[in-house]
Amino acid sequence: MCGIVGYTGKLQAQPFLLQGLAALEYRGYDSAGIEVLSPDGSLHGVKCQGRVATLTQRCQTANLVGTSGIAHTRWATHGAPSDRNAHPHVDCSGRIAIVHNGIIENFRELRAQLIASGHEFKSETDSEVIAHLIEDSWNGPAKGDLLEAVRIAVSRCEGSWALAVLCADAPGQVVCARRRSPLVIATTPDGCYAASDITALAGKAKSVIQLDDGQLAVLNPQGTCSVFDEDGNLVAEPTTMTIDWDASAATLGGYPDFMAKEIAEQPEAIRRLLKDRLGKHGIELDELTMTDEELASIDKVYVVACGTSYHVGLITRDFIENWAKVPVVVEQASELNYKQSVLVTDHTLCVIITQSGETADTLTAARRLRGLGCKVFAITNVLGSTAARESDGTLYIKAGPEVCVCSTKAYTAQMVGAAFLALRLALAKGKMTQAEIEKKYHQLEEVPGLIEKVLGRSWQDKEASRVFRRAHSSLFLGRGVNSTTAAEGALKLKEISYLHAEAYAAGEMKHGPIALLEPGFPVVAIVPQDHVHDKTISNIQECIARGATVVGVATDGDEDVAPLCSNVLWIPPVPDEFLVPLVAVVHLQMLARYVALDRGYDVDKPRNLAKSVTVE
Ligand code: M6R
C-alpha cells in the first residue's frame, strides 16, 4: 500500500509525478503529495488529505517548476489521514524530502532518539523518522553524499520500505532504496523514472530495473541509474524485467470504471491462459518446475492467500481433493503466520495465490512454509512480483493489470490456474487419465463463452440491485463449491457498497444466521443444477418462510427456483459442477457493482482499502 514515484531528467517533473500517482492510486488514496526541486535550489511541495485529483487541482495554482521530484499517494498506517501526515516528509532543514511505502517498525525508539538529539517532528507517521535519519547521516558520516546518507539511515531502520529521496543539496539526483516493498526504475533518454510498480511506468520504457531487497539506486538526470547493495557496493547487473503489456491495458478504454472493464475482460483473460496448455502431461505446467516423480510424491498441499485470493484457495482445495485426491489445507495467510504449529509432511507443496504478488501476509506465510521445507508454487498476476521472485515456480495468470481495488478478473483467472495445478497433479498421481484431463480442459474452454452469456444478462443484476436499496445487511448462501461463490459475492458487496453481507454454507444457516431473517431481508442463494440443488432449494424455502426476499443464481430453465425468488440471475448450463463458480460469480460481481453505483459510491476506490496490501 502507498504508491511512490520519482523523476529526474530533462523534462518538468510535475506532469509525470501526478500522472504516475494517478496510475498508482489504487495502492491508497488517503492523501497525496509532491515535492520538486526548484531552479532556485530549494524544495517546494504540495500535499493534502484526499485523492490525487485534489492534489492535481492544488498543483495548478502552486506552479511547481523543476526537473526532479518525488510524490506519494498514501494508505494510512501510522497517523490519521490528514494534510500533515501526507508525504513527502522533510527533515528539519527542509532540504531533504522523502516518500515511503512500508512500515518502519522501530520508529518509536528512533523518533525518541532523534527528538532527544534536537530534531523536530511535524507528523505522526513512522516515515518521517527516515527524513531526520538521512539529515543526521548527511551532516555526519556521509559527508554530503546522498547515497551514503540514505544507506546509513536505512541501516538503522527495521521493517519494510520503498523509498525515494530528494535533496536540495544534491541537485538532479533521486536516491531510492528498497526492502520488502517493491520499486522499479525506468531509464530513458528523457531521464529516470521510479515507481512502486510498472503501472506508473507504462509507455515510458520496454524494460525496467527491479530493485532487490536491500538495494539502493542513484537516479541521474542524464537517464542513467546505478544500483548498490546494502554495503554500498555497485551491483554490476541489476535485475531487469520486460514490460509485456501496453499502456492502454491500464486505461478505461471507454468503460465507465475499471471494475466494469475488468469484469468484461474475464472471457479473454481465461482464453489467453488456456492457450497451448494441452500436451503429453495432460495440462502442461512447466511453471511448476517439478518432475513427475516429485509431483507423484506430494501427499499434502498447503494453500495460503488473503481476501479474494483466499476464496480461490478454497476452490483450489475442491479441485485438488476431487481430481488429484490429495488432502489440502487452506489458510488465511495472516492466520497461518502466527499459528503455534503448522503441520507439514516431507512432501507438502505450498501454493500461494496472490493477484499482486506483494501481499505481505501471503509472502510471510510462504517464507514460513518454505522454512519448514515446502516447495512454494505461486499463482499470481504480476510479472516479477515478490511472490514470483521468492517462489520455486510461478504461474502467471496473464489477466493484465487489475486496477480496480475490488478483484474480479484475477479471481476467475486464478481459479483456472488452480485447475491446471489440480489436473497436473491428478495425472502425475494417476488419479485421472489423459482422456479425462482432456475432457476437463475442453470443459474449461467452454467457460469464456458461458461468461459472455452472463455478461449479456447484466440487466438482471441491475434489476436485482433494487432489492438492496433499503437493506442494512444481507446473507449469501451456497453449498459445496458455491459456498465459496457465496463468500466471494458477499465480499464484493461489502467492499464496494459498504452494505453488510454475510456468507454462509446454506445448510448451516439454520444453526444461527436464520435468526437474522425478517420480512424483506435480502438473501442471495446460489442454486445451480448440481447434486445439492434440492437441498439448497429447501434452504431457500426456510428463508421464504421467514419473509426474506431471495435473489437466486440458477441454471437456465430451472422451474423450481423462479417461483421462490424476487429475482433470478440466470446462468447457462455449465458442463461440470466444479466449474460453476467461474460463471456464477460474474453475476455477483455485477450485482455488487450495481448496488454500489445505486448508493453513489466509487466502485474502483472503495474507502479504507488498497489494492496491494504490503503491511501485515
Ligand atoms: O494481491 P492479493 O491477491 O494477494 O490480494 C489479496 C486481497 O487483499 C484482495 O483479494 C482483496 O481482498 C480484494 N480487495 C478483494 O476484492
State yes or no: cis peptide before 39, omega within 30 of 0: no
Report the C-alpha gap between 88 and 90 in whole angstroms: 7
pLDDT at 244 exceeding the cut of 80: no
Q: What is the mean pLDDT of the chain?
A: 95
Instruction: Indicate the pairing of strand 31-37 with strand 68-74.
Output: antiparallel
Closest CA to 406 of 140, 145, 174, 608: 608
In a 3-state reduction of DSSP, which class is residue 127? coil
How far from each other are the two terminal CA atoms of the chain, in whole angstroms?
11
Check residue 474 and give its pLDDT: 97
Once rounded to an integer, what is the mean pLDDT over residues 185-198? 95
- From the alpha carbon of 611, which atom of ligand 1 is closest? 14
Measured in angstroms, how far is the CA atom of residue 357 from the centroid of ligand 1?
A: 10
Check residue 476 and give its pLDDT: 98
Once rounded to an integer, what is the mean pLDDT over residues 290-309? 97
DSSP state of 286: G
Name the helix (H) or strand (E) containing 594: helix 580-598
Cell matching residue 345: 509432511
Check residue 334 and give its pLDDT: 95
The string over 5-37, giving b where at least 16 C-beta atoms fall within 10 Å of a residue's C-beta and e elsewhere, is bbbbbeeebbebbbbbbbbbbbbbbbbbbbbbb
Burial class (CB in 10 A: 0-12, 13-18, 19+), 401: buried
Q: Which residue's alpha carbon is at the smallest distance from atom 14 of ligand 1?
A: 406
Contact in structure between 503 and 476 (CB atoms under 8 Å): yes
Check residue 322 and give its pLDDT: 98
Q: Which of 303, 309, 396 to mutate to test the pocket of ligand 1 (most atoms within 8 A of CB)?
A: 309
Enumerate the β-bridge partners of residue 49. Answer: 31
Check residue 394 and give its pLDDT: 97
Place of cell 499470481: 380
Check residue 243 and give its pLDDT: 79
Instruction: Indicate the pairing of strand 300-305 with strand 348-354.
Output: parallel
In whole angstroms, how far apart are CA 575 and each of 228, 458, 530? 55, 22, 10
Report the C-alpha gap between 582 and 414 in whole angstroms: 10
Closest CA to 126 of 97, 170, 161: 161
613 lines ligand 1 (CB under 6 A): yes
Measured in angstroms, how far is the CA atom of residue 295 from the centroid of ligand 1?
A: 28
More confident residue, 611 or 95: 95
362 lines ligand 1 (CB under 6 A): yes
Helix 146-155 and helix 128-139: axis angle, to 10°? 120
Report the C-alpha gap between 249 and 251 in whole angstroms: 6
Cell matching residue 422: 489440480
Measured in angstroms, how far is the CA atom of residue 174 from the centroid of ligand 1?
A: 31
Cell matching residue 69: 521530484
Check residue 413 and give its pLDDT: 98
The dihedrals phi and psi of 226, each to the nearest 5 degrees, come to -115, 135
Enumerate the β-bridge partners of residue 94. Answer: none
pLDDT at 193 exceeding the cut of 90: yes
Contact in structure between 125 and 85 (CB atoms under 8 Å): yes
Measured in angstroms, how far is the CA atom of residue 384 from the centroid of ligand 1?
A: 18
Report the C-alpha gap between 143 and 137 in whole angstroms: 8
Q: Which of 356, 585, 607 to mutate to test the pocket of ligand 1 (most atoms within 8 A of CB)?
A: 356
State yes or no: cis peptide before 572, omega within 30 of 0: no
pLDDT at 542 exceeding the cut of 90: yes
- From the alpha carbon of 492, which atom of ligand 1 is closest? 16
Once rounded to an integer, what is the mean pLDDT over residues 266-284? 94
Check residue 614 and give its pLDDT: 78
- From the alpha carbon of 362, which atom of ligand 1 is closest? 4
Cell matching residue 408: 474480479
Once rounded to an integer, what is the mean pLDDT over residues 523-550? 97
Residues labelled catalytic: 2, 611
Band of residue 355 on the pLDDT scale cut at 50, 70, 90: very high
Place of cell 558520516: 141
Q: Find how far residue 396's CA is from the centre of its chain.
A: 14
Report the C-alpha gap between 601 and 594 in whole angstroms: 10
The string over 416-433, giving b where at least 16 C-beta atoms fall within 10 Å of a residue's C-beta and e elsewhere, is bbbbbbbbbbbbbbebbe
307 lines ligand 1 (CB under 6 A): yes
In a 3-state reduction of DSSP, which class is residue 578? helix
Predicted model pTM: 0.86
Report the C-alpha gap between 92 and 105 in whole angstroms: 22
381 lines ligand 1 (CB under 6 A): no
pLDDT at 282 exceeding the cut of 90: no
Closest CA to 176 of 156, 190, 189, 161: 161
Place of cell 495465490: 353
The string over 161-192, giving b where at least 16 C-beta atoms fall within 10 Å of a residue's C-beta and e elsewhere, is bbbbbbbbebeebbbbbbbbbbbbbbbeebbb
Report the C-alpha gap between 407 and 411 in whole angstroms: 6
Greatest Cα-to-Cα distance within the chain, rounded to the nearest angstrom: 80
Burial class (CB in 10 A: 0-12, 13-18, 19+), 559: exposed
484 lines ligand 1 (CB under 6 A): no
In whole angstroms, how far apart are CA 216 and each of 195, 212, 482? 14, 9, 47
Check residue 27 and give its pLDDT: 86
Q: Could you tell me which residues come within 8 angstroms of residue 414 by beta carbon, excluding any fewer than 6 positions away?
A: 309, 312, 353, 355, 379, 381, 397
Q: Which residue's alpha carbon is at the smallest distance from atom 8 of ligand 1?
A: 307
Q: Which residue's alpha carbon is at the smallest distance from atom 4 of ligand 1?
A: 354
549 lines ligand 1 (CB under 6 A): no
Closest CA to 4 of 149, 193, 250: 193
Contact in structure between 238 and 209 (CB atoms under 8 Å): yes
Band of residue 246 on the pLDDT scale cut at 50, 70, 90: low
Check residue 248 and give its pLDDT: 63
Per-residue pLDDT of 393-450, as tens digits, reads 999 999 998 999 999 999 999 999 999 999 999 999 999 999 999 999 999 999 999 9
pLDDT at 1 exceeding the cut of 80: no
Contact in structure between 314 and 487 (CB atoms under 8 Å): yes
- From the alpha carbon of 382, which atom of ligand 1 is closest? 1
Q: Could you tell me which residues come within 8 angstroms of residue 112 by beta carbon, excluding any fewer than 6 positions away?
A: none
Measured in angstroms, how far is the CA atom of residue 306 from the centroid of ligand 1?
A: 6
Once rounded to an integer, what is the mean pLDDT over residues 20-47? 93
Per-residue pLDDT of 247-257, as tens digits, reads 667 788 899 99
Q: Which of 613, 614, 616 to mutate to test the pocket of ligand 1 (most atoms within 8 A of CB)?
A: 613
136 lines ligand 1 (CB under 6 A): no
Check residue 384 and give its pLDDT: 83
Band of residue 245 on the pLDDT scale cut at 50, 70, 90: low
The dihedrals phi and psi of 174, each to the nearest 5 degrees, come to -125, 125
